[in-house]
A and B are shown apart, each in its own frame.
Chain A
């Protein structure tokens, strides 16, 4: 079974703090993703990475950055947290297009971040 692990389930931070959200997958997947989930808006893609040190902006990258130094780990960074970044953050990983992987994204349990 694919396992995607997010380091924290709940985080409370202060405005202006630098926040790191960590995600680790154990399936040697090339592709990893960060989403945020807000009521009534569904999941929105923040950033994704298709290889080590490679990243691309998603639909809402403003205020965020990412780091992928190792294949299994993808970090989301809030350089200076703001209250409008209070949300649920979900990490996902995906293999390739082969019959086995089938382009399916597998998700972690999420990190609920509150910025006060």
Chain B
């Protein structure tokens, strides 16, 4: 069975600090996909990134960057120079590659990030 662990329940930082959200996963599959979603106070989960298990290149998108390391089964998310608008709950998720039926997402329990002035 697959599992996603986000050990940090809540993180508080002051604006402009860098912050890293940890994600550790477990799966027996060799082909799988990792995701990060953001849930602002409005409630809707917003897709941020998708990574497949064969692509270990780190990715940067503006102030966001992701570090995928298969050796440690981790997919960590860093926000550089955090802003108040980054305050949200962030979810890491894992899905296996299954054809024929809908592949399911397994979510971590989320990390609540609070950015203050």
Q: Does A77 contact B (CB under 8 A)?
A: no
SS class of chain B's interface: helix, strand, loop or mixed?
Answer: loop
Tally of contact residues, B, Cβ under 8 A: 24
| A40 to B95 alpha-carbon distance, docked (Å) | 20
Known contacts A31-B102, A56-B101: does B47 contact A104 (CB below 8 Å)? yes
Tell me the chain B residues, 93-116 only, with Cβ under 8 Å from chain A.
95, 97, 99, 101-105, 107-110
- Please determine whether A43 and B102 come into contact, CB atoms closer than 8 angstroms: no
**Stretch in A20-28, A79-87, A107-115 with 4+ CB within 8 Å of B:** A107-115
Known contacts A42-B91, A42-B109, A43-B91: does B45 contact A50 (CB below 8 Å)? no
* Chain A: minimal CB distance from B42 (Å): 6
Residues of A within 8 A of B42 (CB): 109
* Chain B: minimal CB distance from A109 (Å): 4
For the A-B complex, the count of residue pairs with Cβ-Cβ distances under 8 Å equals 58
Residues of B within 8 A of A49 (CB): 102
| A49 to B102 alpha-carbon distance, docked (Å) | 7
- Please determine whether A48 and B104 come into contact, CB atoms closer than 8 angstroms: yes
Residues of B within 8 A of A9 (CB): 43
- Please determine whether A94 and B110 come into contact, CB atoms closer than 8 angstroms: no
A selection of 25 A-B contacts at a CB cut-off of 8 Å is A30-B102, A31-B102, A33-B104, A40-B9, A40-B109, A41-B109, A42-B108, A42-B109, A42-B110, A43-B107, A45-B105, A50-B101, A50-B102, A90-B45, A94-B102, A97-B97, A103-B33, A103-B97, A103-B103, A105-B105, A106-B47, A107-B37, A107-B45, A107-B46, A110-B44
A interface residue numbers (CB < 8 A to B): 9, 30-31, 33, 40-45, 48-50, 56, 58, 88, 90, 92, 94, 97, 102-110, 112
